[in-house]
Structure 1
Amino acid sequence: MSDAVHSAIQSTINDNDVVLFMKGTPVFPQCGFSSVVSQVLDHLQVDFESVNVLEDNDIRQGIKDFSNWPTIPQLYVKGEFVGGCDIIKEMFQSGELQTYLREKGVIEAA
């Protein structure tokens, strides 16, 4: 991964409390896994930045190298890699995601 791609990814993560690297957009997801994570965040009323990795192959591969995680989508909260679709879905179903997001100050306590 080039320094420019690494810097662009790091900057996006630093500049936004919640970032979802996904295929497509929240309005028009282009894979089921990206759609699931986007819907979970919408359901929890999380304000998040999305990055459509299909628009830039360098970012698409770069985010995998950056996180050392082989799949997309990838969710970052307050600079920390949280996981992909399966992890986010499990965390949501168990209530762990809601607790985590409250602790990070991303959503308000119920």
Structure 2
Amino acid sequence: MENQDQVVKETLDRIHDQVSNNPVVLYMKGTPQMPSCGFSSRAAQALVETGEKFAFVNVLADAQIFEHLPKYQDWPTFPQLYIGGELQGGCDITLELAESGELKKLMAEANAKASA
């Protein structure tokens, strides 16, 4: 049991590092170029359309992240979008932010702060 607890802790630490060290990170099924589900595809496309830089993690390629990411911020589904270290939400919220113009603004601010 202790070994499993250690795996969970290490995975959550790795997620924390990814979220902290990338101004914008999308946890998705697949990649922006080859998404593996419609929700991930739409969320990634919204990010691409901003023209802003973002990182992504293919949760299908990392079983530990796939299993434990929902525990990180108590968000049960994929994709998950983090901007400036904060969970924004999943596909629907990402698309709402994109539609309002807020997504590009949030991403630009996070990217500018990270490169300052």
TM-score (norm 1): 0.88
Cα distance between partner residues in 2 of 1:3 and 1:71 = 20
1:89 matched to 2:91? The reply is: no
Cα distance between partner residues in 1 of 2:85 and 2:20 = 6
User: Among the aligned pairs, what percent are the same residue?
Assistant: 42
What residue in structure 1 maps to residue 55 of structure 2? 49
1:7 matched to 2:13? The reply is: yes
1:28 matched to 2:41? The reply is: no
Comparing both structures, which one devotes a greater share of its residues to helix? Answer: 2
Q: CA RMSD in A?
A: 1.5
TM-score (norm 2): 0.83
What residue in structure 2 maps to residue 61 of structure 1? 67
How far residue 57 of structure 1 moved from its aligned partner, in angstroms, is 1.9
Q: Which blocks of at least 5 consecutive residues in structure 1 are unaligned?
A: none
Cα distance between partner residues in 1 of 2:106 and 2:19 = 17
Matched residues, number: 106
How far residue 100 of structure 1 moved from its aligned partner, in angstroms, is 2.9
How far residue 90 of structure 1 moved from its aligned partner, in angstroms, is 1.2
Tell me which stretches of 4 or more aligned residues in structure 1 moved more than 4 Å: none
